[in-house]
Amino acid sequence: MASYSTNEFRGGLKVMLDGDPCSIVENEFVKPGKGQAFSRVRLKNLKTGRTWDRTFKSGESLEAADVMDTDMQYLYSDGEYWHFMHPETFDQKQADQAAVADAIQWLKEQDICVVTLYNDQPLSVTPPNHVELEIAETDPGVRGDTATGGTKPAKLVTGAVVKVPLFLEEGEVVKVDTRTGEYIGRVR
Amino acid sequence: MDIKTQIQQREDFYKKIREYFLQQAVVEVDVPVLGRYGPTDLHLASMSVLSGSTRYYLQTSPEFFMKRLLAEGSGDIFAICKAFREAETGSRHNPEFSMLEWYRCGFDLPRLMADVRSLVQCFLPGLAFETRSYAEVFESRLGLNPHPATDSELAELALKNTGFRGELDKAGYLDLLMSECIEPDLGNQACFLLDFPVCQAAMAKIGQDGSGHQVARRFELYIDGMEIANGYLELASAEEQRQRFEADNLARKARKLEKMPIDENFLQALNQMPDCSGVALGLDRLLWLLCRDRGLVEDTGINLEKVLLFPWHRL
């Protein structure tokens, strides 16, 4: 497997550290005037999602991680696995609960997600930034109240709970930003 | 900062520096940027160019030429010049940068530090200064006196405080601990660190500190945890300097780095050089601090690009 030297470290580069695949977030060059140079690197552990700060001697290298972000369509869940399909090759992958993690609450069949493959197996799943989901449960709507700015919790069909304006009813479809969990608007 | 402001800031900055040295009767010299020789330092990589079949090095500082002038009787001198260091790119580094270097004959380090302070206060008038010894700062933060410390003690400290597992020499561990643990703790004022470990003597004289440890007669000025200037009580012994160059080259060989030819003209001059102290100051960094002080750059951490008209990636 290829390896990368500190001077090739860039944001987004995938490398192996302590046996886990990581993504480089930041790399800062550190060097006292005539002294040894270092790279102060922030990495995100792609398995645990945790952030690591490590300092390397300049010129040290890390093995490349066989990690690839792939756009895949979410098909269905059998309760144990979540199944995804490559829209062109029709290649299918099954992701376990650890890989799907927080994305579960946003997964709607047929939506295109980013599936991060590590050694060709799903490591994590990122839902689309914006999803449109139906409200499954919420308190009855307050008619005509479109201006006060009040909100109430609404449970969506995928299980996510989002704050929505008071006038919305069960069965309506809302657009939500999955990165913040915030309501964006009503889909008519 | 718009382009006119940026140009104006640097022009005013240089004008004031020249005024300061005019008052001090320190004379400006214009020395070559290309030399036949480069430094032997393990961690300074020179860039070079060929003229015909002869190799010339872009200078990593004007030191060799300025010391030859001192030996020839120039008296106190300063230079504002470009310096070049291969592969040094980052928010605080640009491979080509602007340097101010000056030498004061008969000055010891306390006098030179006072001189540096007067110059810096022309630009940052409210700045408070303190002077601390390298050993005291190191020991108060990390609980170990750096001078007698062994490589394995330092490796252990590095692992405990930074998680670093790689292998370094003594100077390397000290550099790591300095940049990771000590610099961030130096506060937002100005701090002179004095009396460095002998393994980092470079071109400074060696002396003894109050506890009888051998130390390099060297200081660094930090402002806001950032290294701004590096001063030496200058070594004026060709013999000792040659031994240091040769030791550097042996260490370079062990690391499979290019052996650097030794500048005999420079060595010959050293024995004629008057007792003096000299200091190099990073102009781009000080200019950034000055622009920050004037509210012209955002205070979100140093980024030299804000004061360079053409940073490295825009060439």
CATH code assigned at B14: 3.30.930.10
Q: Which of A20, A43, A63 is the last residue of a domain?
A: A63
Closest CA to B83 of B21, B34, B15: B34
pTM as predicted = 0.84
Q: Which of A109, A126, A143 is the last residue of a domain?
A: A126
Confidence of residue B127 (pLDDT cuts 50, 70, 90): very high
Burial, B154: exposed, middle or buried (Cβ in 10 Å; 0-12, 13-18, 19+)? buried
The verdict on A50 and A87 lying in the same domain is no
Domain total of chain B: 1
C-alpha–C-alpha distance, residues B145 and B134, integer Å: 9
Tens of pLDDT, residue by residue over B251-296, are 999 999 999 999 999 999 999 999 999 999 999 999 999 999 999 9
CB-nearest to B90 from A29, A53, A57 is: A29
Q: Is B62 on the interface with A (CB under 8 A)?
A: no
Domain span including residue A142: 130-187
The verdict on A89 and A106 lying in the same domain is yes
The verdict on A33 and A52 lying in the same domain is yes
For chain A positions 60-119, those within 8 Å of chain B (CB to CB) are: 60
Residue A57: φ, ψ to 5° = -70, 140
C-alpha–C-alpha distance, residues A175 and A182, integer Å: 9
| Contact state of B227 with A32 under an 8 Å Cβ cutoff | yes
- Chain pair A-B, CB pairs under 8 angstroms: 65
Confidence of residue A149 (pLDDT cuts 50, 70, 90): confident
Confidence of residue A188 (pLDDT cuts 50, 70, 90): confident
Domain total of chain A: 3
**B51: distance to nearest CA of chain A, Å?**
28
CATH of the domain at A101: 2.40.50.140
Domain span including residue B40: 3-314
| Contact state of B180 with A40 under an 8 Å Cβ cutoff | yes
Q: Which of A63, A84, A110 is the last residue of a domain?
A: A63
Closest CA to B278 of B42, B54, B111, B85: B111
Percent of chain B with pLDDT over 70: 100
